[in-house]
Amino acid sequence: MQAMLQANGWLETQDIIRGGITAGVALEAGAGPGYLGLEWLKATHGTRLTGLDVSPDMVMIADRNARSWTMTDRAQYLCASADATPFEDGVFDAVFSSRSLHEWIDPRATFIELWRILKNGGRLLLFDLRRDLSRAARNFLLRRMTSDVVRDGLLASIDAAYTVGEAAALLEGTGFGAREVVQTPLGLRVSGIKQE
């Protein structure tokens, strides 16, 4: 699905940049094949990226994509879960993610972990599907899927996704200030800033 979004120019790269994530070292949680992080690197200068994914296959694909985009000097990919990262406190300027929140086993623990590894003032920006998508939005997405397997995966992801209210409740008590969860036409956007 991420390849289709990238090919059509539908990744959230510009949303990430408009959200103030334009410099420093970023973590992409649930990087998948890596297209979003690589697009972000391409659109910024002097930045670095670490991508995490729980799938060794996705890490291998993201590594391969970084090589083909000649970004290996700025991007690295690790097989790890975002709820128990291998990083010290306060090492990242930003964390972003697309379409992985609904996959997290313990979202509150993951938000707390992401807060831990962010520098003070670091930004969090996540995009995901939304369970209460309109019929028109669902149909728009489904018509663009190229196979029954991908279509079935999309439907399962929509069913597992959170509403705006549920996602906002997950952020309670995690330490993120200036947090906001808003509805988008095809999902939701979660943002926050680490404030100690």
Task: Residue 78: name the closest of 34, 123, 126 by CA.
Answer: 34
- Cα separations in angstroms, 143 against 83, 135, 137, 148: 33, 12, 10, 11
Task: Residue 89: name the closest of 59, 108, 117 by CA.
Answer: 117
- Is there a contact between 187 and 133 (Cβ–Cβ < 8 Å)? yes
Q: Residue 168: pLDDT band by 50, 70, 90 thresholds?
A: very high
The structure tokens 């699905």 sit at: 1
Say which range, 2-6, 11-15, 55-59, 189-193, has the weakest mean pLDDT: 2-6
For the cut 60, the answer to whether the pLDDT of residue 8 exceeds it is no
For the cut 60, the answer to whether the pLDDT of residue 6 exceeds it is no
Model pTM greater than 0.95? no
Domain 2-130+162-194 class in CATH: alpha beta
Q: In the chain, what are the domain boundaries?
A: 2-130+162-194
Give the model's pLDDT for residue 33.
92
Count of beta carbons in the 10 Å neighbourhood of residue 175: 16
How far is the C-alpha of 179 from the C-alpha of 177, rounded, in Å?
Answer: 5
Query: How confident is the model over 20-60, as pLDDT tens digits?
Result: 999 999 999 999 999 999 999 999 999 999 999 999 999 99
- Is there a contact between 91 and 117 (Cβ–Cβ < 8 Å)? yes
Query: How confident is the model over 67-84, as pLDDT tens digits?
Result: 999 999 999 999 999 999
Above pLDDT 90, what percent of the chain? 76
